[in-house]
Amino acid sequence: MARVVIENLTKIFAGPGGDCIRAVQNASLTVEEKELLVLVGPSGCGKTTTLRLIAGLEEPTSGTVAIDGTVVNHVPPKDRDIAMVFQNYALYPHMSAHENMAFGLKLRKVSQTEADRRVQEAAETLDLAGCLQRRPQELSGGQRQRVALGRALVRRPRVLLLDEPLSGLDARLRAQMRRQIATLHDQLRLTIIYVTHDQLEAMTLGQRIAVMKEGAIQEVADPIRLYQRPGNRFVAAFFGSPPMNFFDGKIVENGSGLFFQEEPRYQLRRQAQRPTLPILSLRLPEDLSATMQTYIGKQVILGIRPEDMRPSTIAEPGQQRIEAIAERVEQLGAVTHLHLASAGHSFVALVPSADGIVMNERISFVLAMRHAHFFDAAMEKAIDYLGPSLLVSQVS
């Protein structure tokens, strides 16, 4: 197994008009030995290019890739002892599953006996023992993906790179393969770098997650920390379904303490039957007020996750009550998504049940302010504070 370190890695492509496309920008990341790290981000953020730079399939414009302390920028891909599983499987259609899995070993002059042993061992691990004589067209999507994974595993690489390997599978197979990949990592203790745009895959597979945006790494942390203590607005919005709600406003002071006061993004379209809603004014918890003193009169962004608000007419300690209008009700079985409107923002609440709530109804909600996130409006970075159950860390 190997430790992978990239430092100030940059890749610039020449665009069709002669302009420069920065696919990866000064990315630095350490993947520890035997770690399963996930690179996640929206399409076009540079995660696959980063993987290809590590594999040697692309040459960096600047920066370094090191494996076990040795810089490999000029080492050919075949000599880096890295195996890669692609999104499209890349199986030879005229070969059986066994032949596909053994092909790389044949090129490396591994004996037939040893190759057969490794293929059989991988097939048993991946539940493919009964499929080894079938060709790819005779296999299901999940079986093809496992053959591609087995082909990489039989090489016994120092590093395994997985480039969105489950994107072509249906939801049930994706869940099954996620479990299988996690189990394989636990058993084999490989160093794995896994690329995906799916937050669910990232959260369930990654021991740590590196979040990318526009070629730059935004934050690297374990899944729970990224969800509970995001370092900036982008990371906060990326994780969670429905995503975090954001409210623009400023911090104001009156005789009784500090408040977040909503400033409407837009004027909501009003219907005659809709009552006028007051601007949101939310009292800050005492433990947060000291830190937010420096933001009095300044623009900030308040983030509240949909699960941290619920219909209620009574606000308990640590909660704030607001008024909202129900714009849409989405029943999803065990839970309901309520699409709501305040005086100047649309947002979503995730509640167990919404029986009796109808569209255009005015509803009282309580927000769990101890779970609130505040971001600097200019930089969109988290404002540093220590609350009763939440520490938001400033990202430099």
Give the distance from CA 221 to its chain's centroid: 11
Q: What is the pLDDT of residue 390?
A: 34
Q: How far is CA 44 from CA 40, 273, 291, in A?
A: 11, 44, 37
**In angstroms, rounded to a whole number, what is the distance separating the alpha carbons of residues 244 and 266?**
19
Q: Indicate the domain borders of the chain.
A: 4-237, 242-392
Taking each continuous run of H as one helix and of E as one strand, the counts in the chain are 9, 22
* % the chain with pLDDT above 70: 92
Q: How far apart are CA 236 and CA 232, in angstroms?
A: 6
DSSP assignment, residue 269?
P
pLDDT tens per residue across span 217-259: 999 999 999 999 999 999 999 999 999 999 999 999 987 789 9
SS3 94: coil
pLDDT of residue 257: 87
The CATH architecture assigned to 4-237 reads: 3-Layer(aba) Sandwich (3.40)
For 211, the token pair is 């979040």
Q: Which residues contact 44 (CB under 8 A, 6 or more apart)?
A: none
Domain 242-392: assigned CATH number: 2.40.50.140
Under a CB-based contact definition with an 8 Å cutoff, are residues 181 and 201 in contact? no
Work out the burial of residue 16: count CB atoms within 10 Å of its CB; fewer than 13 is exposed, 13-18 middle, 19 or more buried: exposed
Which one has a higher pLDDT value, 98 or 169?
A: 98
pLDDT of residue 291: 82
Residue 353 or 159, more confident: 159
pLDDT at 128 over 60: yes
Residues 366-390 have pLDDT tens digits of: 888 888 999 999 999 999 643 333 3
Peptide bond into 60 cis (omega under 30): no
Write out pLDDT tens, residues 130-142.
Answer: 999 999 999 988 8
Model pTM score: 0.88
Q: Is the pLDDT of residue 342 over 60?
A: yes
Six-digit token pair at 385?
Answer: 């504070």
At residue 254, the pLDDT reads 85
CA-to-CA separations, 28 to 37, 195, 217, 304, in angstroms, rounded: 14, 16, 8, 30
- What is the arithmetic mean of pLDDT over 103-120? 93
**Sequence-ordered list of residues with C-beta below 8 angstroms from that of 70, at least 6 positions apart, any chain:** none
**325-341: pLDDT as tens digits:** 999 989 888 889 999 99
Structure tokens, 27: 């990315």
Most confidently modeled of 177-181, 262-266, 312-316?
177-181
Q: Give one DSSP letter per residue of 163-179, joined into a string.
A: ESTTTTS-HHHHHHHHH
State which amino acid sits at residue 252: V
| Residue of 128, 118, 126 whose CA lies nearest to 97 | 128
How much is the pLDDT for 207? 97
Whether residue 319 is predicted with pLDDT greater than 80 in this model: the reply is: no
In whole angstroms, give the CA distance from residue 374 to residue 67.
39
pLDDT(271) > 60: no
> Between β-strands 299-304 and 245-254, what pairing exists: parallel, antiparallel or unpaired?
antiparallel
